[in-house]
Amino acid sequence: MAAATSRELQPVYDFVDAHAAEFVDELCDLIKQPSQTGHLDELRACAPKVIALGEAAGWSGEVAAVDDLAPVIFLQRPGPPNGKTLLLYSHYDVISPEPVGEWTYPPFSATRVDGRIVGRGATDAKANVLALIKGAESYARSRGGLPIGLKLILDGEEERGSTNLPRFMDQYAAELMVDAALSFDGGIDASGVPKIGLGTSGMLYVELQLTGASKELHSAGARLYSNPAWRLTWALASIKTADERIQLPGFYDDLVPPTDEDRRLMAGMPWNDRRQLSEAGLSEFLTGVSGLAAVERLLFQPGLAICGITSGYSGEGPKAVIPNRASAKLEFRIVPNQTPEGVLDALRAHLDAGGFSDVEIRVLATVETAKTQPDAAIVRAAIDGARALYGEPMVKPTEEYAGRQGAWLGTRLGVPGVQTGVGPPGFRGHATDEFVTEEAFVKGIKLAATIFERYSALA
């Protein structure tokens, strides 16, 4: 069928508004279904419910168990003969809700308060999942069919690094012949407009482990016995200095600087130092950067976070022990020309050269970098759709986040890819009292439908 004009999209928007209460009820039911990442019983129970939602909305689907991890949900809707096909992506797993006691409402209650729906996964990413499913349904039911074919991957391991997604893509390669990729995840910018991401950072997530005596020892022996907590502390201190420089050999050798087009896009981002710092509850950025220098550091420089350290006794009051094991979880965020494998090799070489060959490295997750050209049709469609509903969007030449999202999918398939999200600003993803607003969800459905229409009309 021919692509709709902007005027002809009004029936689609009217359909969404007329069915908004029904769609919100379905979203609440989905939020109430626990699907904590890594909890295979929950994920395997949630997947058929998502399939049922999709089939009721006109999609055909299957639950693909490609390994012993969470299944991948694969939904499809045909488009017109010889039309374009768009690969969509989001995820149905959610981060765990701990500390549960700090939630105002139970994390899987989908409590409605003043236009908000509070619950784990409300925005990240169940509102995004249903925005895609309902965007297609609304377009097809109000226009008599879709302008493009759609294939939707819903990941059950996204919050753990999407480790089984490459295997799924290999097994389903014949069904993933598409023209472009689009993912919905997360929310819009604090300025109130969508973020359009043209790339993603990469990531290497490792756990460093050290062992000492065969059991915990009395701390009186600290003058004689090795303490793995100290060994770990010294090893960590050797990896990154106080000026934020990572000390791995060759770590910065092949970094790709931003292009002129990248710098133009960064200059056009509605970045506000004060707003970003206020949201983080901090007074300044690392190394004192600000403005465009802060944006460039965020998007085009690698980084390293200690995500957690575990060793010894941390309960109330003293306990005189030497721990017999210590561990730390580290996440390297990497940029183009760096690879998880290369960083891992450099980390091993650095530890060995520094006398820390006893440090065991366990790889927990990896993600490759990705980048899409800004003039691709799917990029222009996403920008046009956002502009029509929200105003001028924030176009990011790449993202600080690492994930196997639209740009990554496109890079792997050899097609353009882009990512955006529809949750409200400050939606508290990965924190207590995560929420989505009914308004943001309903507008997100319209955004999905608009992007489908815009993409069908672009060469």
Q: Are residues 210 and 341 in the same domain?
A: yes
Q: Are residues 44 and 164 in the same domain?
A: yes
Domain boundary among 343, 367, 391: 367
Tens-place pLDDT, residues 413-447? 999 999 999 999 999 999 999 999 999 999 999 99
Helix (H) or strand (E) holding 420: strand 417-420
Q: Are residues 141 and 220 in the same domain?
A: no
Residue 2 is predicted with a pLDDT of 43
Looking at every residue in the chain, the average pLDDT score rounds to 95
Q: What is the mean pLDDT of residues 350-370?
A: 96
pLDDT greater than 80 at residue 269: yes
List the CATH number of the domain containing 103: 3.40.630.10
Asked if residue 288 is part of any domain, the answer here is no
Question: Rounded to 5 degrees, what are φ and ψ at 134?
Answer: -80, -25
Q: What is the mean pLDDT of residues 225-232?
A: 97
Residue 416 is predicted with a pLDDT of 98
Q: Are residues 107 and 182 in the same domain?
A: yes
Q: Is the peptide bond before 393 cis (omega within 30 degrees of 0)?
A: no
Tens-place pLDDT, residues 122-164? 999 999 999 999 999 999 999 999 999 999 999 999 998 898 9
Q: Are residues 181 and 245 in the same domain?
A: no
pLDDT greater than 50 at residue 350: yes
| DSSP structure string for 279-307 | HHT-SS-GGG--HHHHHHHHHHS-EEEEE
Asked if residue 346 is part of any domain, the answer here is yes
Asked if residue 218 is part of any domain, the answer here is yes
How many residues in the chain? 459
Q: Are residues 418 and 438 in the same domain?
A: yes
Q: Are residues 190 and 54 in the same domain?
A: yes
Asked if residue 417 is part of any domain, the answer here is yes
Tens-place pLDDT, residues 372-402? 999 999 999 999 999 999 999 999 999 999 9
**What confidence category does residue 369 fall into, taking pLDDT thresholds of 50, 70 and 90?**
very high
Q: Are residues 196 and 314 in the same domain?
A: no
Q: Are residues 332 and 386 in the same domain?
A: no
Asked if residue 260 is part of any domain, the answer here is no
Residue 185 is predicted with a pLDDT of 97
Q: Are residues 360 and 396 in the same domain?
A: no
Asked if residue 341 is part of any domain, the answer here is yes
- Structural contact between residues 343 and 248, judged by C-beta atoms closer than 8 angstroms: yes
Domain boundary among 328, 345, 367: 367
Number of domains in the chain: 2
Residue 5 is predicted with a pLDDT of 52
Question: Sign of torsion, CA 133 52 112 89?
Answer: negative
Asked if residue 272 is part of any domain, the answer here is no
Q: Are residues 248 and 380 in the same domain?
A: no
pLDDT greater than 70 at residue 3: no
Asked which of 112-116, 188-192, 357-361, 394-398 is least confident by mean pLDDT, the reply is: 188-192
**What confidence category does residue 1 fall into, taking pLDDT thresholds of 50, 70 and 90?**
very low
Above pLDDT 90, what percent of the chain? 94
Question: Sign of torsion, CA 284 286 291 295?
Answer: negative
Residue 270 is predicted with a pLDDT of 83
Q: What is the mean pLDDT of residues 37-63?
A: 97
List the CATH number of the domain containing 249: 3.30.70.360
CB-based contacts of 129: which residues, under 8 Å, 6+ apart?
30, 50, 90, 91, 92, 154, 184
CB-based contacts of 200: which residues, under 8 Å, 6+ apart?
367, 369, 370, 398, 399, 401, 402, 403, 405, 407, 408, 419
Q: Are residues 306 and 383 in the same domain?
A: no
Domain, as residue range, for 236: 202-255+302-367
Domain boundary among 367, 388, 423: 367
Report helix, strand or coil for 272.
coil
Asked if residue 285 is part of any domain, the answer here is no
